[in-house]
Amino acid sequence: MKKTVRRVRTVVFSAMLVALTATLAQAQATRTWVSGLGNDANPCSLTAPCKTFAGAISKTAAGGEIDALDPGGYGAVTITKSITIDGTGTMASILASGTQGIVINNAAAIVHLRNLSIDGAGITLGTNAINVMAASEVHIEKCLIQNFSNDGINYHPASGFLTVSDTTIWNAANIGVAVSTGRATIENLHASANGAAVSVIGSAIATVRNSFADSNGTGFQAIVNAAAVINLENVVITNNTNGVQVGNGATARLSNTTVVSNGSTGMVNDGVSFLVSLSGNIVFGNVTNGTFTSTNLKQ
C-alpha cells in the first residue's frame, strides 16, 4: 500500500513538474504579440495575444521580441532586460498621460524600439517619453514622440550607446533628446516645438546627421560640462529662438550645416566655449548670427 502511495505521489509530482516547465517555457517565449483585442492572461502568442507591453514583457525571454498586431494603445512599460518592441506596420502607441512612457533600467540590456507612437497628451502631460536609466545599447527607430513635460528621450546611464534614427520629437517642454553620458548617434531627426531639440548636458558626445530642428527654444546645445561635445553634420536649424548654443567650456562642431532665420541668435557662446566650423556651413539671416571660434578645413 505504501509503495502504491509513493508511486502515485511520484506520478503526480512528475506531472506537476512537466506542467510547471511548460508554463515557464510559455512565459519565456522568444517572440510574443500584443493586440488591442488581446488579454494579458493570454500566453501572448500570435493567436492569443496580450493586451499591453507590460503584460507581454514578462512572458518574453531576454533578447526576444514583442510585435504589435494592430495600432492599439499598449500602455507604459519598464524594461529590465534585452528586448525588441516593434510596431512595424501598425505604429503601435503608448499613451503616457501623467507618467513616463518607457523606462529602461538594466546595465547589460540591449533594447530596440521600432515604429512606436509615444504620446504624453492628456490633462497632465507625460514626464519623459523614454527614460534610459541603465543600458548597454538603446536603438530607437522610426518613432513619433510628442507632448511631454520633460524630455522626449532622457539618456543618462552610467555608460552605453544610444542611436536615434528616422524619428520625430514634438512638444517636449524641456529637451527632445537629452544626452548626459556615453555616446549618441542621431540621424534623420525632426525636432519641433521643444525646449531644445538635442542637448548634451554631461560628459558625453552626440553626433547629429541629416536632421532638422525648427520652432524650438534652442536647436542644438552642448552645455553644463566642459567635456560635452555635439557634432552637427548636414543639419538644418531654422526658426528657433537660438540655433546652436555652447556653454561652460563645451564644444559644438558644425559641418555642412545651415543656421538661418532664428529669432534671436544663430550661434550662442558664453565666451569660454567652442564653436568650430569644419567648412561648408551657412550662418545667415538670424537676428544676430554669432561667430565661430575657429575654422578647420576638411582634409
- Do 52 and 36 form a contact (C-beta atoms < 8 A)? no
Name the DSSP class of 126: B
Report the C-alpha gap between 119 and 170 in whole angstroms. Answer: 10
Domain for residue 47, yes or no? no
- Which range marks the domain in which residue 186 is found? 62-295
Report the C-alpha gap between 67 and 283 in whole angstroms. Answer: 44
Find residue 213's DSSP bridge partners.
191, 237
Domain for residue 92, yes or no? yes
Domain for residue 14, yes or no? no
Domain for residue 104, yes or no? yes
User: Which grid coordinates belong to 256?
Assistant: 555642412
Report the C-alpha gap between 34 and 82 in whole angstroms. Answer: 18
What is this structure's pTM? 0.90
Query: How many domains, the chain?
Result: 1
Report the C-alpha gap between 118 and 176 in whole angstroms. Answer: 13
The reported pLDDT for the residue numbered 126 is 84
Domain for residue 93, yes or no? yes
Whole-number Cα distances in Å, 204 to 15, 133, 179, 207, 277 = 55, 15, 7, 10, 20
Domain for residue 3, yes or no? no
CATH number for the domain that contains residue 79: 2.160.20.10
- Mean pLDDT of the residues in the chain: 92
The reported pLDDT for the residue numbered 299 is 66
- pLDDT over threshold 60, residue 101: yes
- pLDDT over threshold 70, residue 27: no
Find residue 103's DSSP bridge partners.
78, 131
- Do 113 and 145 form a contact (C-beta atoms < 8 A)? no
Domain for residue 115, yes or no? yes
